[in-house]
Amino acid sequence: MTDALTLHSPTALLDALCTCINEDIHPLSARAVAAGSKLFGAAILRKSDLSVVYADTNQERGSPLWHGETWTLKQFFEIPADQRPPVTDCLFLTTHEPCSLCLSAILWSGFDNFIYMYTYEETHYVFECHGDLDIFNDVFNVREAETARQASLDGTLAQIRPQYKLRSSRLVALSFAELLAAITDKKTQSEYLTKVEQIKRSYGRLSEAYRRNMGVE
Ligand SMILES: [Zn+2]
């Protein structure tokens, strides 16, 4: 992952990732949402030139295991081995910070990274999809001990998130917010903030469509 970060500036990464979401992931998600699946999507890009190898979206209507990430991984490994790049040469992009299932699936597949646009907190409180944090809290007890103490101290919701290692020898997890923060020129940073906000607005509309289709108020 560090090689990709060294090779590409935050703006080059954001350009490629935003284009991938807009052109590859979002159209697939819009169709899947209309058919009754959720709006989460993912893609695999080459670290070297940031070209898209494969992009796909949640297929939960077919199986509850096919989240955007797990479905994308399954489809990627359906490509004959001699026709796809090794995972160590690839970036894993996910629209939403991966749930416990998907985070493990990304690592078990051999990726050393993922980059996400929405955080767990946004998934929970903005999209009102509670599975990710509920599983972490109910099964992995992340609300216990230090996190609960902190949350009660400063009254923040952010403290209930799982404390997985964002930087380790196994994994580099990077958010769009971090990429945006790494842009040093303020004018450029503001342009990219607007660019990401535009994508987020289009996901807001998708979320409304999903809720309408599912009969959720
Ligand atoms: Zn998932």
Does residue 146 sit within a domain? no
In the predicted model, is pLDDT for residue 149 greater than 90?
Answer: no
Would you state the torsion angle of the CA atoms of residues 180, 200, 1, 24, taken in this order, to the nearest 10 degrees?
A: -130
Q: What per-residue confidence (pLDDT) applies to 138? A: 81
Q: How far, in Å, from the CA of 163 to the mean position of ligand 1? A: 17
Q: What per-residue confidence (pLDDT) applies to 129? A: 84
**Residue range 150-160: mean pLDDT, rounded:** 57
Does residue 177 sit within a domain? yes
Q: How far, in Å, from the CA of 143 to the mean position of ligand 1? A: 20
Q: How far, in Å, from the CA of 153 to the mean position of ligand 1? A: 30
In the predicted model, is pLDDT for residue 176 greater than 80?
Answer: yes
**Residue range 60-83: mean pLDDT, rounded:** 95
Residue-wise burial string across 13-48, b where 16 or more C-beta atoms lie within 10 A, e elsewhere: bbebbbebbeebbbebbbebbeeebbbbbbbbbebe
Q: What per-residue confidence (pLDDT) applies to 89? A: 95
The CATH number for 205's domain is 3.40.140.10
Q: How far, in Å, from the CA of 191 to the mean position of ligand 1? A: 30
Does residue 149 sit within a domain? no
The parent domain of residue 59 ranges over: 2-137+166-214
Assign 23 a pLDDT band (cuts: 50, 70, 90).
very high
Token pair 């299932």: residue: 101
Q: Please tell me whether residue 76 adopts helix, strand or coil conformation.
A: helix
| Tens digit of each residue's pLDDT (9 = 90 or more) over 80-127 | 999 999 999 999 999 999 999 999 999 999 999 999 999 988 888 888
Does residue 155 sit within a domain? no
Number of domains in the chain: 1
Cα–Cα dist 62/88, whole Å:
29
Cβ neighbours of 60 (radius 10 Å): 17
| Tokens encoding 192 | 């990219």
